[in-house]
Amino acid sequence: MRYIKKYNESNSEVLDEQEIKDFCEMNLAYLLDDGLRVLVSPDYFDLKVIDYKVTLSFRLYANKRWGQIKDQVIPFLTHLRNEYDLVADLGNMKVDYSQKVFLKNNIRIEIIGLENTYPDWFNIDDVISEKIVPAGRLQDDYKIYTIQFKIKGKK
């Protein structure tokens, strides 16, 4: 019954935590079986929700390598990009001088190193096309701890 909306809610463009969580869980069902956890939390400004932070995390004992999960994550990110507007992290914006454009990074992936984890920021289009620049920033044998992004609304 939780998926059936009331008549007045069916045309609503307002997002809520449960809708986003359901979207993630529905599109990442195989990874949920492997220990993926989905956490959705609202970000507030002036007592209003401005966006939702989504964290996809693996339990420490069940960390997966990028090569093991990318076949599920990339289609999920494609669907996410088509359905929702993501927040670009302006603090981690990169400049491509050859194209004279700013690359807005909007996905944070925490990679497990030898002694600790370290975060790296990516643009969703680069992850989907598997054309990460510079090359080598996201390799198939890297263990993934979390994937984070922020959703600001529906398209």
> Is 112 inside any structural domain?
yes
Q: What is the DSSP letter of 133?
A: S
CB within 8 Å of 67: residues ≥ 6 apart: 139, 140, 141
How far apart (Å, rounded) are the C-alpha atoms in residues 51 and 53? 7
Residue type, 39: L
> Is 2 inside any structural domain?
no
Host domain of residue 122: 14-154
The confidence score (pLDDT) of residue 105 equals 81
Contacts 24+ apart (CB under 8 A), 43-50: 43/150, 50/152
The confidence score (pLDDT) of residue 99 equals 45
Q: How many domains does the chain have?
A: 1
The confidence score (pLDDT) of residue 135 equals 64
> Is 63 inside any structural domain?
yes
Successive 10-residue mean pLDDT values, the chain, 155 residues: 48 76 95 91 84 88 84 95 84 48 74 80 88 76 91 89
> Is 3 inside any structural domain?
no
> Is 5 inside any structural domain?
no
The confidence score (pLDDT) of residue 94 equals 52
> Is 1 inside any structural domain?
no
> Is 28 inside any structural domain?
yes
The confidence score (pLDDT) of residue 22 equals 96
For the whole model, what pTM was predicted? 0.79
